[in-house]
Amino acid sequence: MASALAEPPGRVSATAAVPEDGQLVADAVAGRAEAFGTLVERYERAVYHLCLRTMRDPEEAKDCAQEAFFKAFRSLQTFRAGSKFSTWIFSIAYHACCDRLARRKRYADDELPDRADPSPGPAQIAERNDEAEALRAAIDALPEKYRTVITLYHLQGRQYEEIAAVLDLPMGTVKTHLFRAKELLRKTLKTP
């Protein structure tokens, strides 16, 4: 009977151990670069999307995400055992975006805004027919502090505590930003 339940030869069990983030960090610190590669693969999409929502530019988002992983790799020794790697890398990515936005503001004080005419054109009207596109546009229109909180909470499923740690904000401020972001989204999406 036991032989009937055994896995066929050459087949890997579906319950093969997937290394935890903390173990991968420890392995990377010990010199196993492929362990850090696994962490990058695990979080690159979420980090890129956080950067994209913050920067609003795909190329800048790629640069910020790459910079975040580079900084994380250089600072692996400072990672505290028992902490969540996701919180740490999101925090690094968010601060990389903030630094880049600050530099952009310093050098672009006299430039025109991204859009001269904020009213919707034909492309935006067509996109609004698709609810998902309308929601994305509304999120993109939020102020950066609200957009980041809504992205972390609703699109990436992060908890209040983790968002507070990533953004270095008090828990009450995170909840307030989330509430105000939702209110702004409701108003925006109700408008025809």
Q: Could you tell me if 155 and 135 are in contact, meaning their C-beta atoms sit under 8 angstroms apart?
A: no
Residues 76 and 136 grouped into a single domain:
no
Residues 91 and 27 grouped into a single domain:
yes
Model pLDDT, residue 133: 72
Write the CATH number for 171.
1.10.10.10
Residues 23 and 103 grouped into a single domain:
yes
Q: Which domain holds residue 177?
A: 127-192
Query: Could you tell me how many residues make up the chain?
Result: 192
Count of the separate structural domains present in the chain: 2
Residues 26 and 56 grouped into a single domain:
yes
Mean pLDDT, rounded, of the chain: 81
Average pLDDT over residues 68-88: 90
pLDDT in tens, 8-36: 444 444 445 778 999 999 999 999 989 99
Residues 95 and 131 grouped into a single domain:
no
Residues 85 and 159 grouped into a single domain:
no
- pTM summary value: 0.58
- Is there a domain that residue 83 lies in? yes
Own/partner pairs, 113-117, CB within 8 angstroms, 24+ separation: 114/56
Average pLDDT over residues 143-171: 88
